[in-house]
Amino acid sequence: MKKIINTVINGKEYELALEQNRTLLEVLREELGFTETKKGCDQGECGACTVLLDGKPVSSCLVLGVNIEGKKVMTIEALATDGRLHPLQEAFINQGAIQCGFCTPGMLLVANALLNNNPHPTQVEIKEAIAGNICRCTGYVKIIEAIETVAQETKTC
């Protein structure tokens, strides 16, 4: 039996009729077409499916779709606004923090949540924030540098 839920995804209100056994990841990718949210391990270990739920990064493969009732979801699709890349996206490109790109949506959203709460994190805090996001290409150094760059830029503004 389907359940009707009301939610806000990327700033837009949705009324959705969801099968009760659908995860948020499945709802986003298969029903709403937000396919930039990646499906990785599907067990909450890799962080590829990260979205922000009420501003906090979560693994969407571990959240029931019916549990986003009344909550705000942000996917990577909403990070760039008005056709302009977010400073974090620019920094990832400029620092070479992307290789295959599979972990990038999750990394960017985690970094975005971190900088929203703590605009000038230390390197340790950055490492702690991205601890749940696995990257098998870059070795993390470039990713950390990219996040540090944005934190530095906002410091000097």
Three-class DSSP category at 73: strand
Least distance in Å: CB of 21 to other proteins?
A: 4
Structure tokens at 82: 């008005």
Site string for other proteins, 121-150 (x = CB under 8 A): -------xx-xxx-----------------
Least distance in Å: CB of 83 to other proteins?
A: 29
Site string for other proteins, 57-86 (x = CB under 8 A): xxx-xxxx-xx-x-----------------
Site string for other proteins, 16-55 (x = CB under 8 A): ----xxxx--x---------------xxxx-x--x--x--
Least distance in Å: CB of 52 to other proteins?
A: 9
Helices 104-117 and 87-94 cross at an angle (nearest 10°) of: 130
139, with CB counted inside 10 A (0-12, 13-18, 19+), is: exposed
d(CA 148, CA 157): 14
Unique residue bearing structure tokens 């890349």 = 85
Task: Output phi, psi for 149, to 5 deg.
Answer: -60, -45
Q: Which residues bind other proteins (CB under 8 A)?
A: 1, 3, 20-23, 26, 42-45, 47, 50, 53, 56-59, 61-64, 66-67, 69, 110, 128-129, 131-133
